[in-house]
Chains A and B, each alone.
Chain A
Amino acid sequence: MPQTITIPHVTRIEGHARVSIHLDDAGEVSGAQLHVTQIRGFEKFTEGRPYYEMPSITARICGICPVSHLLASVKACDAIMAVRIPPAAKLLRDLLHCAQFVQSHALSFFHLSAPDLLLGMDSDPAARNIAGLIEKHPQIARDGIALRRFGQQAIERMAGERVHPSWTVPGGVNKPLSSATRDAILSEIPVARSIARRTVKLIKSILDQFPEEIASFCNAPTMYAGLTSPAGELRWYDGILRFISQEGESLAAVEDPLDYANFIGEAAMPHSYLKAPYFKPRGFPAGEYRVGPMARLNVAASCGTPEADAELAEYRQRLGERPQSAFFYHYARLIECLHGVERMERLLDERRILDTHVRATAGVNEREGVGIIEAPRGVLIHHYQVDEHGAITWANLIVATGHNNLAMSRGVEQVARHFIHNGKVEEGMLNRVSALIRAYDPCLSCSTHALGQVPLAIDILRPDGVAVQTLTTGQAD
């Protein structure tokens, strides 16, 4: 009998999602959908607020990557003020962002995905979590916690608070870095670097245990988008937004942030609050592209730091010039983690990082501003329009997870087709659907501006839409 499987709550992700898998009469998968089930509404309720309040308001979109929203927002505000921020402020923002990447990537890998990778996709769901990891692999769990703490502490040292700091302001940052803080962060770098190195080694050693997952996790060509320097080096804080094809052909290079709208369109999906951005010149849905760690490494020619570049060379040698399976997001994420630590050290050694001139001031000089940065999960765009006094009249936020929406939905279907046959559904299969979503490290609450509800659920539906089975991998609210 045809049916639909529902995973009502995808667990170990940031935010809340639901998956519907449609089965035909023979019990084979006929389709699948990813639903993001809440709406947040930041774009609407910020209308009328002063533009310079936007960083602190939009930072509240997320507790995992508030720094990314802060930075995208202050960049959009810099554009409204039409100022070039002092060099030290740019270095400090970049440094803060690197610390955020390290802590967020550590969270994604160790706390959310490592239980699947190290304890097994089919292991007991009750122990398949960070607590189970601590029990089975205490050293790895300790590394994860230590690496995340390193990033969080660096943020706290620089910005005063770990979550939602008010240090980054339109025009720069509001306090210079002290030499004591610089030295304190520098002293922690060697340990962080050795953890990052160890972890890259770890992922390389377990990669061969997941041939089926590698083959079925969104393993299809797409376009990729990411920021790079003019020379093609990986960039997180500022750069040229490039789109490339699976074959590596350059499709677009957006140098002026305001031009993004010529290349990115947003489609509303009937079954989800998460919009689906697409590459405009190719139309919808052919313009599907991916962002995030793997996409960034596909777009960039190099990382620009020695150890990460050596790892990147090995990654490309092993997986090909532009790997396409979403499973490799984990691998790419850990190379980025290493790059983040290396880049932090490089930035801390910059001569101008201790400069005391860290803030430019100006009023409203432009009526429109766009800030584009790389959040840990991919390209993040804040776009504001203001009236002549600086009150927001319109805002658009395109959040990293949104860009991956089409690819995630397609990937869910691919995984379901691979693992579900004859209507037989096992928990391990559901976990693979969840694991695919986890590979993208989506931040769903960020991307729809949603209020809290539940983590992921899978619905199994008959062709007439009646739910036959609902499987929950998380707790209902």
Chain B
Amino acid sequence: MPNRISIRIDGELVQAERGQTIFEAAQANNRFIPGLCQFKGLSTVGACRLCVVEVQGVNRLLPSCTTPAQDGMAVITRSAKLNDYRRQALELLFAEKNHVCAVCVSNNHCELQAYAQRLGVTNVRYAYRYPRLKVDMSHPRFVIDHNRCVLCTRCVRVCNEVEGAYVWGVAGRGIGSRIACEMDRDWGKASACTNCGKCVQVCPTGALAEKGFAAEEMVKRQDLVERLATIRGTMNPGGSR
């Protein structure tokens, strides 16, 4: 079977590799699709729904990060409908937790903020929930602020798939879901944490940050983790590459 396939992205015929997801094929062909939970080298979960695309012949939107590209497929990555859905997804994220950009360590270096700006989120149509959430500062070097978490689970995946420490997991159900450390203990008491900081670097927002950084100071170094993840990912059946 040939390794190259042909798909149409926004009307243009492009080449992709067999086994690539639509997201990867689009990225390889310089097409922009937003995505908060997707991270190169980690397994995909389709959690954020920002990367939804229209596929001809399918009567619902599909997350491009989990949908494999098929030979002859026609995909729309940009349309008014998609923009509206993506904006709704972002607005729901903003309404769900307490995102206050102005005082955030990741202000100006935040993926959530950048997508909101790029997709034109000027207001949030849903009522904010203002949940009371914890800031766990017990770790000597890092801090997790659940107020800023979008539940992308990049931290969970990088800890499992790259570091192999299995510190992070998701506790609770539905709107009560949250990232939890080991069996829901304080991060500072985690027995498996190696203090490597990969979870901090892959976090798209200011939810995971290094301690002592003031507003706007937390710039994530994702290139290093991405490199590690793609080298290791080739041996990891869970990884997409």
Contact = CB atoms under 8 A, between A and B. Distances in A.
Interface of A: 48-50, 52-53, 55-57, 60, 164, 166, 169-170, 174, 361, 363, 387, 389-391
B102 interface: yes
Given A363-B211, A390-B211, 20 more contacts: A48-B134, A49-B135, A50-B135, A50-B211, A52-B211, A52-B213, A52-B214, A53-B214, A53-B215, A56-B102, A60-B102, A60-B103, A166-B107, A170-B214, A174-B214, A174-B217, A363-B140, A363-B212, A389-B137, A391-B135
Given A363-B211, A363-B212, A390-B211, A169 B134 contact: no
A164 B102 contact: yes
A51 to B, nearest CB: 9
B217 A50 contact: no
A52 B212 contact: yes
Nearest to A56: B215
A392 B135 CA distance: 10
A127 B213 CA distance: 48
Nearest to B206: A53
Interface in B96-144: 102-103, 105, 107, 134-135, 137-138, 140, 143
Interface residues of B, number: 19
17 contacts: A50-B145, A52-B211, A52-B212, A52-B214, A53-B103, A53-B214, A53-B215, A55-B215, A56-B103, A57-B103, A166-B217, A169-B217, A174-B214, A361-B212, A363-B140, A363-B211, A391-B137
Given A57-B103, A361-B212, A390 B137 contact: yes
Given A169-B217, A361-B212, A391-B137, A50 B143 contact: yes
Contacts of A49: 135
A56 B138 CA distance: 22
Contacts of B134: 48
Contacts of A56: 102-103, 214-215
A211 B145 CA distance: 58
Contacts of A164: 102
A164 B102 CA distance: 9
A361 B214 CA distance: 12
Contacts of A361: 212
B215 to A, nearest CB: 4
B188 interface: yes
B216 interface: yes
Contact of A166 (B188, B212, B215): B215
Contacts of A52: 211-214
A174 B219 CA distance: 14
Interface string B203-234: 00000000111111100000000000000000
Nearest to A48: B135
Nearest to B108: A166
The 4 closest A-B pairs by CB, nearest first: A56-B215, A389-B137, A169-B214, A56-B103
Contacts of B135: 48-50, 391
A306 to B, nearest CB: 37
A55 B105 CA distance: 12
A363 B210 CA distance: 12
